[in-house]
Structure 1
């Protein structure tokens, strides 16, 4: 079993208050970093939900899934179908997307969790690729194939029409009782759901159920010898993780009502693994940090093209500015993946526990220095009195 530090409920409440303050003020403090626009902040929230859900499986149990993009795609497709058939209100879309993804995770987990280690990972990857190919070709009447599932003027929207809500000439926008799911209002909808999701994740982390999951990660065989059947715990963690992915996929459809098979591709599953490892596997806040860093790189660094770089170094002679822009151009713009790869490599080599390990090291260093300085002052006091 793993050692778990007892944390009081007041500390968790303080944790949630601080996190809520940081998240809800993002439009202010992200301004200097050029990331305070709604679309990017929505991605921070959505992939934060995806990451903390994935961390319930990978971080707590140690089971590495390469197929979580399948649940992300199911959530997106379900949400768009909810918009087309029922209502543009986001609540039915989020509920159906989350529940259906959980049921899909139950089916996949029933088979995949019969194996562990690399065999489990390969099974989840196989199911995800099968789901991708089904969505891309076989299930075209449901998914619209490579074109993707989109809203149209002729959609039924039964609940909206029954409530007397008529669509105008333009396509309707997903909303929460009239609050649009795009722009800054859309960001705050995503932020509220992320905070709720994190609170649930925090309760799981602190609960006896979370302790059993960490015990499975520590030594599953020993836990079996003590009389625990680990399979129900693993299945529950897998389903909960799939539901989080479904919620994230549904929110992607809320911010952009389009569902395509590319959301189920293996690269999307690999991205969430990278996000979790970069932030810190098994930590509370690490997955959120990893999601923020990768999405920031993806949207900000990729926007720096040769023209922007040359203008940035225009104070230099032309030949030098062009040379610097050519070198830096390898790491930004289309080459931003190179920068991400270097960062990931440095993190894995020097901080195997992710960014959170670096933060904890700094915290311990500061704490040790402050405690040592306090001890030095206490030692100086008697000598002062004697003088």
Structure 2
């Protein structure tokens, strides 16, 4: 019997296909299973899909090549601004906005990557952070005619929207909403659009990781110095990875603008860059599924735990005596509501200490545990039968 064809990393194409189908099924059924943990509403699901895509792109650079960028939020902001300008000038269809956002982010990544990749390690990280902060400050000051400064860029009824004007469907009265050939990108339709883009982005990332190009990126991460000594020019590969990663970030920025047609400089802030780093490390850098899981965990903490105010906590602990109830609310309030960052910090610290490979390492350990127990039970059965 012929063996199943394998990819560059020794995994069969059939297993990759099964993995992709399971991932797609989990994403598309998210409104069902996420409602069990109180996260089934569209806004949160949209953020999970968008930031999951952002983290997948960042993982192509950091997880595969080992280059840690602290400035990826610059591409997220550029994608958002480009998408909003596409809505203002062309029309509210999200497809042109997504296309132009990716192209603009690619050009921006080429310029930044060409300079930053002349250095490696912490110097590369500081350079990307500097470029991101420059972009953030420019969006607030010098580029105000393009970005509208601290007010942010929005779509107005008076905008030209040329394609809609040519088609005779331009509305100059009501506030326009984004759409996909007439289907408004709000609520669950907006989530499913983001979900489909996430699945496509996941598939492309899988193909990159399994390709000879992905193998070369992993070799660069393993020992770039040795590759340079052999005369191999690694820079085109790292620059390509940087551009692809920037395009993913620009795409995520376009999706943010598609679900909420607004672009602000805060999306370029260093905190947004740090957030995607946390997502990738928390889920498992260098893995396919890890960044998506990390994005889901952080967005869940941000949107669910932050909603636990004192009133909600009082209702949760109403079964306690009044004195103990107040004490429990005071203690719990440190970790939820405005203190949700503390909970996230504790979780992140525990994972880094006990699971350096992130959530995916924990999943692999559980799988090994079950395999060992299953193997032990088979051995015992064989011994008894003998």
Q: What's the TM-score bracket when you normalise by the shorter of the two chains?
A: over 0.9
Distance 1:272 1:141 in 2: 29
Are the counterparts in 1 of residues 9 and 210 from structure 2 also a CA contact under 8 Å?
Answer: no
Paired position in structure 1 for 2:284: 280
Tell me, yes or no, if structure 1 residue 138 matches structure 2 residue 142: yes
How big is the shift at 1:180?
A: 1.1
Paired position in structure 1 for 2:4: none
Structure 1 residues 28, 222: CA separation in 2 closer, same or farther (over 3 Å shift)?
same
Paired position in structure 1 for 2:304: 300
How big is the shift at 1:6?
A: 0.3
**1:262 maps to which of 253, 262, 266:** 266
Distance 1:271 1:356 in 2: 18
Distance 1:341 1:255 in 2: 29
Paired position in structure 2 for 1:39: 43
TM-score by length of 1: 0.97
**1:362 maps to which of 350, 366, 369:** 366
Tell me, yes or no, if structure 1 residue 343 matches structure 2 residue 347: yes
Distance 1:360 1:250 in 2: 34
**1:372 maps to which of 357, 372, 376:** 376
Paired position in structure 2 for 1:81: 85
Query: Counterparts in 2 of 1:41-190, with a 5 A limit?
Result: 41-167=45-171, 169-190=173-194
Aligned residues: 379
Are the counterparts in 1 of residues 156 and 176 from structure 2 also a CA contact under 8 Å?
Answer: no
Paired position in structure 2 for 1:221: 225
The more displaced of 198-207 and 159-168 is 159-168
Are the counterparts in 1 of residues 75 and 247 from structure 2 also a CA contact under 8 Å?
Answer: yes
The CA RMSD over aligned residues, in Å, is: 0.9
Distance 2:323 2:315 in 1: 13
Distance 1:252 1:204 in 2: 25
TM-score by length of 2: 0.97
Distance 2:9 2:167 in 1: 52
SS, match of residue 119 in structure 2: coil
Query: Counterparts in 2 of 1:233-248, with a 5 A limit?
Result: 233-248=237-252
| 1:23-82 C-alpha deviation (Å, 9 max, x unpaired) | 111111111111000000000100000000000000000000000000000000000000
**2:26 maps to which of 22, 32, 43:** 22
How big is the shift at 1:144?
A: 0.3
How big is the shift at 1:168?
A: 5.9
SS, match of residue 154 in structure 1: coil
How big is the shift at 1:107?
A: 0.1
How big is the shift at 1:170?
A: 2.0
